[in-house]
Amino acid sequence: MTDTQRVVHAYPFSPPDRFKLDPFYAELRRREPLTRVRMPYGEEAWLATRYADVRTVLGDARFSRAASADRDEPRISPRKLEAGLLLMDPPEHTRLRRLVAKAFTARRVEQLRPRTQEVANELVDRMIATGPPADLVQHFATPLPITVICELLGVPVEDQDRFHVWSEAVVSTTSLSVEQIAGYIQNLFAYMRGLIAQRRQEPTEDLISALVRVRDEDNQRLSEDELVRLLTGLLAAGHETTVTQIPNFTYVLLTNPDKLAELRADPSLVPAAVEELMRYVPLGVASSFARYATEDVELGGVLVRAGEPVIGSLSSANRDEEVFPDPDSLDFGRSANPHIGFGHGAHHCVGAQLARMELQVAIDVLVRRFPELRFAVPEEELEWKSGMLVRGLKRMPVAW
């Protein structure tokens, strides 16, 4: 098939419907794994749907994120992404990522597990003391990751009502206006600048202080603007997706009572369950963050020419039949689960270990402490977020 014969599909293919993945992805994996798409904003692009091709797009140095800065990047949001780690390629990306990676190693994260369990149990104690019904989003899923990232970075947790609202700008497409998004991001930057100035006067043992020291001792390693953007990104991204995924995972378990019973019978399955839920839940409404080919590349039986953007669908890759047998079913006993729910390559989520640990703690505590957990309203009355990059629930009233 020549490029001129190819159909260009409007993308995303359909509005998000809970965690149903559009069946067109499976059809494309079978017959046209690399297809032309047009998103609501930006230029036309290739969409990769098979696991192997998506990994190549995310991990091969011949595909560049930095090149998108000078292009009309395909996207579902009217606003283009500005500077930051997500717009960098190695070695610049590596230089900045290395500065924060030590705070998110598996060893460091394990040291945070007891405190995370303590916070989770305190939140459940409060819910039980108040009595049902309770909104799981407001009373558990939001404060848990926010408290953990605040303590790690050195951000006052009592400020969460402000910065959590502003952080919506990171995942908004149309839920906020372009002006609101710009304003919220500037609020986040100003807030972080204030904390940085405070740490310069009164250093403490936290990540903000550590990075301020790096900046002030050697400005070749970190500029002031990079310092502000890096810490702001960690604060916003460090809680926003986990706040969304805790209710998402709980929803899947409550709507698959046999799987919930499996966890209750054997809580040692929780780590495997978290990996399977990461694979199964299509968090993104659509794929984004295009990579641009820096040279001609053969991909999915197609020649992608230098300068063309390619979007890799993580959700489709995680349902690829070639890699995951019976991919549309939840299986906590998968012998291998090489999902790419946290991405792949240079831009693999730097906080993946932290998110994993938080999700394990959250699911474990909910399963143990609430043996009769259930929706407090009919499932069809649950409110879902809209105008966002991610799928998730606005509220989740539960009883026990």
User: pLDDT tens, 8-22?
Assistant: 999 999 999 999 999
- Measured distance CA(104)–CA(365) in Å, rounded: 22
Report d(CA 375, CA 397) in Å as an integer: 6
Three-state secondary structure call for residue 399: strand
Res 81 pLDDT > 90? no
Measure the CA–CA gap between 269 and 263, rounded to whole angstroms.
Answer: 6
Q: How many CB atoms lie within 10 A of CB 298?
A: 9
Confidence of residue 79 (pLDDT cuts 50, 70, 90): confident
Given a cut of 70, whether residue 183 has pLDDT beyond it is yes
Kindly report the pTM of this predicted structure. 0.93
Q: Span 43-57, mean pLDDT? A: 98
As given in the structure block, the two tokens for residue 338 are: 């090489």
pLDDT category at 5 given cuts 50, 70, 90 is low
Q: Average pLDDT for residues 335-346, to the nearest whole number?
A: 94
Q: Which CATH number fits domain 3-399: 3.30.360.10, 3.40.50.20, 1.10.630.10, 2.40.37.10?
A: 1.10.630.10
* Cα–Cα distance, 254 to 377 (Å, whole number): 12
Residue range 230-265, pLDDT digits in tens: 999 889 887 889 999 999 999 999 999 999 999 999
Kindly state the average pLDDT of the residues 126-154: 95
pLDDT category, 100, cuts 50, 70, 90? Answer: confident
For residue 238, what pLDDT is reported? 79
Q: What count of other Cβ atoms lies within 10 Å of the Cβ of residue 329?
A: 11
Name the burial class of residue 241, with classes exposed (0-12), middle (13-18) and buried (19+) by CB atoms within 10 angstroms of its CB.
Answer: buried
At residue 172, the pLDDT reads 82
DSSP H stretches of helix in the chain: 24-31, 51-59, 92-101, 106-130, 136, 143-153, 160-171, 178-201, 207-217, 224-254, 257-265, 270-280, 314-317, 352-369
Q: How far is CA 145 from CA 176, 241, 300, in A?
A: 23, 9, 38
Taking CB atoms within 8 Å and a gap of at least 24, the contacts of 168-172 are 168/240, 168/388, 169/236, 170/236, 170/237, 170/240, 171/240, 171/241, 171/244, 171/388, 171/389, 171/390, 172/77, 172/387, 172/388, 172/389
CA distance 196 to 53: 41
Is 2's pLDDT higher than 60?
no
Q: Can you read off the two tokens belonging to residue 399?
A: 């009883």
Distances (CA, A) of 215 to 12, 156, 210, 371: 41, 22, 9, 49
pLDDT tens digits, residue range 279-295?
999 999 898 899 999 99
Cis peptide before 156 (omega within 30 of 0): no
